[in-house]
Chains A and B, each alone.
Chain A
Amino acid sequence: MSERPRHSVSSVLVAIRMPLILFLLMTASAILTEGRFLQIDNLVNVFRQVSLESLIAFGMTMVIVTGGIDLSVGSLVALAGVAAAAVMESLGTWSPTMRIAIGAVCGVMVGATFGGLSGAVIARLSIPPFIVTLAAMLVARGSAFILCGGQPVYELPGELMWWGRGFVLESWLGRLLPVPVLIMAGAYLFFLFLYARTVWGRCVIAVGSNETASYLAGIPVRAVKWSVYVVSGALSGLAGVLHDAKLMAGDPKVGEMWELNVIAAVVVGGTSLFGGRGTISGTLAGALIIGVLNNSLNLLHVEHFWQNVVLGLVILGASLLDAGLRRLNTT
Chain B
Amino acid sequence: MVHTVPKVHLTGISKRYPGVQALEEVGFEIATGQVHALVGENGAGKSTLVKILAGVARPDAGKILLDGRMIEILGARHSASLGIAVVHQEFSLADDLSVAENVFLGRWSRGRWGTVDFRTLHRRAESLFQSLGAQLPLGIAARDLSVAQQQMVEIARALSMEARLLVLDEPSAVLSPTEVTALFRIIRRLTAQSVSVLYVSHRLDEILEQCNQVTVLRDGRHVSTREVAEASREQLIREMVGRPINEEFPARKSRRGETLLRVEGLTAPRRFRDVSFEVRSGEVFALTGLVGSGRSSVGTAVFGAVPHVKGELFVGGTRSTFRSPRQAKRAEVALVPEDRRRQGLLLERSVGENISLADYGAVSRFGILRVGRERNLAQRRIRELQIKAINPAVATATLSGGNQQKVTIARWLGKPCRIMILDEPTRGVDVGARTEIYSIINKLASRGTAVILITSELSEAIGMADRIGVMAGGRLMGILDNGNRSITQKLILELAVPTSARLESPSQGEPAA
Contacts and interface: CB of A to CB of B under 8 A. Distances in A.
A205 B349 contact: yes
B368 interface: yes
Interface string B329-347: 1000001010000111111
B220 to A, nearest CB: 12
Contacts of B358: 217-218
A216 B305 contact: yes
A209 B348 contact: yes
B344 A213 contact: yes
A276 B324 CA distance: 23
Interface stretch (A1-9, A28-36, A285-293): A1-9
Interface string B354-373: 00111010001001110100
Contact of A197 (B18, B343, B348, B369): B369
A278 to B, nearest CB: 12
Nearest to A6: B390
B303 interface: yes
B348 A202 contact: no
B250 interface: no
Contacts of B357: 206, 213-214, 217, 219
A145 interface: no
Contact of A212 (B342, B364, B390): B342
B20 A3 contact: yes
Contacts, number: 92
Taking each of A197, A210, A213, A214, which has the highest tally of chain B beta carbons within 10 Å of its own beta carbon? Answer: A213
A5 to B, nearest CB: 7
A274 to B, nearest CB: 10
Contacts of A213: 337, 342-346, 357
A65 B349 CA distance: 13
Given A197-B369, A277-B348, A216 B364 contact: no
B305 to A, nearest CB: 6
B170 interface: no
Interface in B268-324: 303, 305, 324
A200 B360 CA distance: 10
A3 B329 contact: no
Contact of A216 (B19, B343, B348, B360): B343
Contacts of B411: 217
A199 B364 contact: yes
B343 A212 contact: yes
A3 B22 CA distance: 12
A99 to B, nearest CB: 34
A94 interface: no
B360 A202 contact: yes
Contacts of B232: none
B360 A199 contact: yes
B466 interface: no
Contact of B18 (A5, A205, A214, A218): A5
B489 interface: no
A190 interface: no
A23 B308 CA distance: 56
A198 interface: yes
A213 B329 CA distance: 14
Nearest to B365: A199
3 A-B pairs with the lowest CB-CB distances in the bound complex, closest first: A218-B329, A209-B346, A2-B17
Interface of B: 17-20, 22, 303, 305, 324-326, 328-329, 335, 337, 342-349, 353, 356-358, 360, 364, 367-369, 371, 390, 394, 398, 411
25 contacts: A2-B20, A2-B22, A3-B18, A3-B398, A198-B368, A200-B367, A202-B360, A202-B369, A206-B346, A210-B343, A210-B345, A213-B345, A214-B346, A214-B357, A215-B305, A216-B337, A216-B343, A217-B325, A217-B329, A217-B357, A218-B325, A218-B328, A218-B358, A220-B326, A277-B348
